[in-house]
Homo-oligomer: A and B are copies of this chain.
Amino acid sequence: MPDPPRRGRPPDEKLAAERRRALIEAAYAVFAEKGYIAAGIADIDERLDVGRGTFYRHFQSKREILDHVVDHALERFLAAIAAEAPPGEAGTFDEFAGQMRRISDRVFAIAAAEPGLMRLLIFEATSIDDALTERLLELLDTMTATVAAYLDHGVRAGYLRADLDTHVVADALNYVLMPAVMQMLRGTFGPDDRERYQHGVMALVGDGIRR
């Protein structure tokens, strides 16, 4: 005999998941707009026009939903990096430069689309929690390690200088994105500026790392 048909309204897990998603989205929007600390649970509820307690059906606390918002964001960054072909694909410096270019394009695209998210991640995280700060720093470490892997391959393949301190260079390359990101937050950074910026950095760094 199969499971007896359960009485009543089925738990509709899709609905619950959808609510969670909607709440995370609303929280993301509110956090991005006002900042995590200034934002209130009420702002999130009002954005969805739900009651005060609904939030707490789905998340234990304000702090918890922040983790989900951050998860969401980190996944996007990691995807932006992982979408690129692996280091081994590049046989020449120009191919390598193309890889770097595409990764930075994707990061820029995220920053352009979601400046509030960047602010939340880069600037507010450290005010909130050691755990959160640590997660963010781990993301940066991951990005550094990824770029370092591309550099290491370049050294082995012979198109980058043998004496590169690849870890330092990778760190610097990552952070070199920051002035552009910060100018995006100001709203004074259009596609032309971005083009100019990427080109300038490559011209600057290119000779420094090329063999």
Interface residues of A (CB under 8 A from B): 8, 35-38, 51, 119, 122-127, 133-134, 137, 140, 144, 163-165, 168-169, 171-172, 174-176, 178-180, 182-183, 185-186, 196-197, 199-201, 203-209
B residues in contact with A8, CB < 8 Å: 51
**B165 close to A38 (CB less than 8 A):** no
**B185 close to A126 (CB less than 8 A):** yes
Known: A171-B179, A178-B175, A178-B178. A165 touches B200 (CB 8 A): yes
Contact of A123 among B37, B127, B144, B172 (CB under 8 A): B127
**A127 close to B206 (CB less than 8 A):** no
A contact patch SS: helix
Contact of A201 among B124, B168, B203 (CB under 8 A): B168
Contact of A172 among B169, B171, B176, B209 (CB under 8 A): B176
B residues in contact with A169, CB < 8 Å: 200, 204
Contact of A179 among B122, B175, B203 (CB under 8 A): B175
Contact of A168 among B137, B172, B200 (CB under 8 A): B200
**A126 close to B123 (CB less than 8 A):** yes
6 sampled A-B residue pairs with Cβ under 8 A: A8-B51, A35-B126, A119-B127, A134-B186, A137-B186, A208-B208
Q: Which residue of B lies closest to A169 (CB)?
A: B204
What is the CB-to-nearest-CB distance from A147 to chain B, in angstroms, rounded to a whole number?
A: 12
B residues in contact with A200, CB < 8 Å: 165, 168-169, 172
